[in-house]
Structure 1
Amino acid sequence: MWSPFWSVPAACVLISLLLGLFLPSLEKNLSESTLDFVFAGGPDAAREVLGTIASATISVAGLTFSITLVVLQLVASQFSPRMLSGFLRNRVVQATMGIFLGTFIYSLTVIRNVWTNDEELTGFVPRASVSLAFILVLGCLGFFLAFIRIIMGSMRVANAISEIGDETVALAKRLYPIEDAEVDPSMGPGWSPSPGDPRESVEANGHGALVWINYRRLMTWAERNDAIITIDRSVGEFVLTGQPLLRVWWDGELSDADIRLIHSSFEVHTERELHQDVAFGLRQLVDIIDRALSASVNDPATAAQSIHEIHRIFRHLVTVIEPSPYMADDDGNVRVVHKPQSISEMLHEVVAEIHYYGTDSALVPKLVENMLDDLEAAAADHFQSAVKHAQEIWEGKTEGPDTIRPENSEA
């Protein structure tokens, strides 16, 4: 629920609205002496302070939104359009928009409770509420400075590339276990259907990139119904409405509730995201390399920085154990068969695309050769053939990744 850009600003506005409604009501039950340490002005001063805060915060919120649009345009044109999602996911950007909008709503809500009685020259001023508005203004200033820092950093290509690398490495460490002497890459149960086994196909009910699969939910359903689910699509693939999404191997019949639960286990967006998709991080870096090596941009230094980040990512990936396609329950029975992203295929595709665009560069070939030599030295035994195949692709001894299949299918 916190993934969309508007989620944090919407939460800030809702909280501010509730505070503006209930905090002045609580103050009416407190004595004046209790609130001597807060705002000491009268009704007119309170109205002026709250009105100034409301007008200033909404103006700066508009400025912040305008700056965000300009930065998004620059990022899309200079680096890659696929980097926009990373900028919009930044919590500082979201919180900055949220606190400005929240302060605006809070000030307008509190100002309703400031009133005077001209005949008795008395009135009510929600002093603590006005003081809280002033504290929110200080928070707005702090977040605005942090926002400017994020903007300046996002416009530096080195920071943007490094951030993509950091997110991709963090995701790879979460998804892929490090190989050690106690774990055998070939360990784990297997499963294959027999001819004539009953099965039922489930089709996709939307179109877009498959960004996330709730394996736990699928495992729970399959175990409860004594079924086996084979997923036909891998994370990162583009699916169309009506395309086969998975098959259920069992003797029963899927109900509408079962189909809704299965569909809710798949998240499809218009663009790929770094939730379970390590290849998307590499895709962004390769896009930057392609754009940097184009004749219109001609920026080999940016391409070199992206190659360094790709090297860092694969330096970790070639030491891990690829997940088994077979997922079993606690009793060892296979319940879900999926298609994990192949590290070998990712390496081959990256090297092939850099080879296509970067062989004529004076800087890129040496960097890629050094990367592949280092990967060969660091790779685990079950990745040695994949790295050697990548070296053959770079040397032009193979036709490209279309003819390549994972070398370590036993993993």
Structure 2
Amino acid sequence: MNGKSRSGRSDHVHRPPRALTSLRERLRDSFWFAPTAGLVAAFGLWWGLAELDNAIVAHLKQERAYEELGDLLSFAVDARTIVTTVSAAMMTFIGVVFSISLVAVQMASGQMTPRLVRIFVRSRISKLTLTVFLATFAFSLLVLTSYEGGTDPDPRRVTSVPLLQSLLTLGLVGLSLILFVAYVSATLRLMQVGPVLDHIARESLRALARHSGGPVGEPPIGPAGAQVVYRGRAGVLREVQVARLVRTAQRHGTVLRVLPRTGDFVVPGTPVLSVHGGPAPPARALGRTLFVGVDRALYQDPAFGLRQLSDIALRALSSAVNDPTTAVQCLDRIVQFLSAAVDLPLGPLLHLDRRGEVRLVQDVPGWTDLVDLAFEEIRWCAAGYPQVTRRLLAAFDDLLLLAPEERKAALRRHRALLVEAVERTVPEAADRAFALRPDRQGIR
């Protein structure tokens, strides 16, 4: 398809993803950054509040307000007991909470898909809770070093009263309790099928939106003059640094094409870039433009969302689980995704430079690829489940109403194959008629 929608409106120029957005996505896939930043922030807060506490004590001594200073000392002595208890109990609390949570995640991933762990790793509430817990523990330890010895120090000789530090410690404890309730609620939602499927669908739609809005098609770039071979470690192509590749191609007057799709497994020695219109840019100019990891990521790989939905449906249809209702819920989200993609220009994505010239071609899944990924494996397993076959037929009918004529063939093929599979599998005519009756809820 070209870069116009069915309404005739021209699509805007596709802008490459920003470097900061790419960095943010990689940080979200890590579980260490937020807790580490929280520990650094805890140390900074302690140092700043300690200076303020010392300034308060120095001011009161200068004003000879020993009675007010004595009241502060009395509060600090009482708060010291709480701070000591918090510092002793917080690490145990952290261990118990996250041990239970990891068991819950393990159970949920076993029931649905191992890719579910990725949702836990990227969860904002999980990282915020761990960050606040660790910050509270570290801050309480630091506050204990600010207390002076003795149970009843003399206001005239005291040099430090951790007033603000103690107040912030109490505030962090209260915040930790609130986050604990929110974290348990989020973890329980993670064990439910509906919220998990909704999360996957929303992330998939955002990834699909990043791949839409720009020109697509096969540009007249001619045969490849050279190829760039991959030299890094073997793994899954997670991300393509589009902006840097576009600048490199513009600087050298060439057009680059990314040969593997995002989500493909690449090994050292295989071609990853083809160069059109000139010699290959130097290796240093192409360094760190393709990021490879051990698993797929949704940021530039919208098909990975369909893969996860299909995996959950297949596990639900297995003889060990036998849960066709979960498969129907997966099909609901699959239809949601495909209905959003049905009118989008799909095909090789063209990235342009500032002058509007094609500088990078990136292969992405086409409409037929997405339909096959969504329905092929589920269709093979669905013939014995009338609830699933009825939902599949309703899905095909709904998508056929939305799809343009050139995209209906893939849907009709899967619909016909499903009908053939049911006719082969179900011997009774009445049962076949029931299984082949479209129903958006499967069986009401």
Structure 2 length as normaliser, TM-score?
A: 0.80
- Aligned equivalents of 1:128, 1:251: Cα separation in 2: 66
1:208 has 2:208 as partner: no
2:6 is matched with none
2:273 is matched with 246
- Compute the RMSD of aligned alpha carbons: 2.6
1:304 has 2:340 as partner: no
1:17 is matched with 43
Identify if the C-alpha distance between structure 1 residues 309 and 256 changes in structure 2 by more than 3 Å, giving closer, same or farther: closer
Give the alignment of 1:203-352 within 5 angstroms.
203-249=230-276, 251-252=278-279, 254-260=281-287, 264-322=288-346, 324-352=348-376
Identify if the C-alpha distance between structure 1 residues 198 and 316 changes in structure 2 by more than 3 Å, giving closer, same or farther: closer
- Aligned equivalents of 2:153, 2:263: Cα separation in 1: 71
- Aligned equivalents of 2:284, 2:299: Cα separation in 1: 26
CA contact (8 A) 1:212 1:266 kept: yes
Mean Cα deviation higher: 348-357 or 96-105: 348-357
- Report the alpha carbon displacement of residue 103 of structure 1 after superposing the two structures with TM: 0.6
- Aligned equivalents of 1:39, 1:372: Cα separation in 2: 72
Deviation sequence 1:133-180 (CA, Å, 0-9, x none)? 111111101111110110111111222222222222233234324xxx
- Aligned equivalents of 2:419, 2:360: Cα separation in 1: 39
CA contact (8 A) 2:297 2:304 kept: yes
| Alignment-mate amino acid for residue 157 of structure 1 | V
2:124 to 91, 112, 115: 91
Which protein shows a greater Rg?
2
- Aligned equivalents of 1:144, 1:296: Cα separation in 2: 34
- Aligned equivalents of 2:72, 2:408: Cα separation in 1: 70
Deviation sequence 1:42-65 (CA, Å, 0-9, x none)? 554343222112122212211222
- Aligned equivalents of 1:68, 1:366: Cα separation in 2: 37
Give the alignment of 1:173-212 within 5 angstroms.
173-177=209-213, 190-194=219-223, 198-212=225-239
CA contact (8 A) 1:207 1:239 kept: yes
Mean Cα deviation higher: 130-139 or 331-340: 331-340
CA contact (8 A) 2:232 2:268 kept: yes
CA contact (8 A) 1:328 1:335 kept: yes
| Alignment-mate amino acid for residue 350 of structure 2 | Y
Mean Cα deviation higher: 75-84 or 49-58: 49-58
CA contact (8 A) 1:203 1:241 kept: yes
2:133 to 84, 96, 100: 100
| Alignment-mate amino acid for residue 330 of structure 1 | R
Mean Cα deviation higher: 200-209 or 373-382: 200-209
1:76 to 94, 105, 109: 109
Identify if the C-alpha distance between structure 1 residues 58 and 253 changes in structure 2 by more than 3 Å, giving closer, same or farther: same
- Give 5+ residue unaligned stretches, structure 1: 178-182, 398-411
Aligned length: 384
Identify if the C-alpha distance between structure 1 residues 69 and 18 changes in structure 2 by more than 3 Å, giving closer, same or farther: same
Deviation sequence 1:325-354 (CA, Å, 0-9, x none)? 332323332211221122321112321111
Mean Cα deviation higher: 138-147 or 17-26: 17-26
Deviation sequence 1:224-255 (CA, Å, 0-9, x none)? 22122111110111112332211234545644
- Aligned equivalents of 1:323, 1:128: Cα separation in 2: 60
- Report the alpha carbon displacement of residue 256 of structure 1 after superposing the two structures with TM: 4.4
| Alignment-mate amino acid for residue 242 of structure 1 | G
SS in structure 2 opposite 1:115?
A: coil
- Report the alpha carbon displacement of residue 382 of structure 1 after superposing the two structures with TM: 3.7
- Report the alpha carbon displacement of residue 128 of structure 1 after superposing the two structures with TM: 0.6
1:171 has 2:207 as partner: yes
- Report the alpha carbon displacement of residue 277 of structure 1 after superposing the two structures with TM: 1.1
- Give 5+ residue unaligned stretches, structure 2: 1-22, 422-444
- Report the alpha carbon displacement of residue 393 of structure 1 after superposing the two structures with TM: 4.1
CA contact (8 A) 2:108 2:116 kept: yes
| Alignment-mate amino acid for residue 193 of structure 1 | G
Identify if the C-alpha distance between structure 1 residues 253 and 273 changes in structure 2 by more than 3 Å, giving closer, same or farther: closer
CA contact (8 A) 1:274 1:281 kept: yes
2:172 is matched with 136
- Report the alpha carbon displacement of residue 39 of structure 1 after superposing the two structures with TM: 6.4
Identify if the C-alpha distance between structure 1 residues 172 and 6 changes in structure 2 by more than 3 Å, giving closer, same or farther: same
2:78 to 45, 60, 75: 45
Q: Percent identity, aligned pairs only?
A: 27
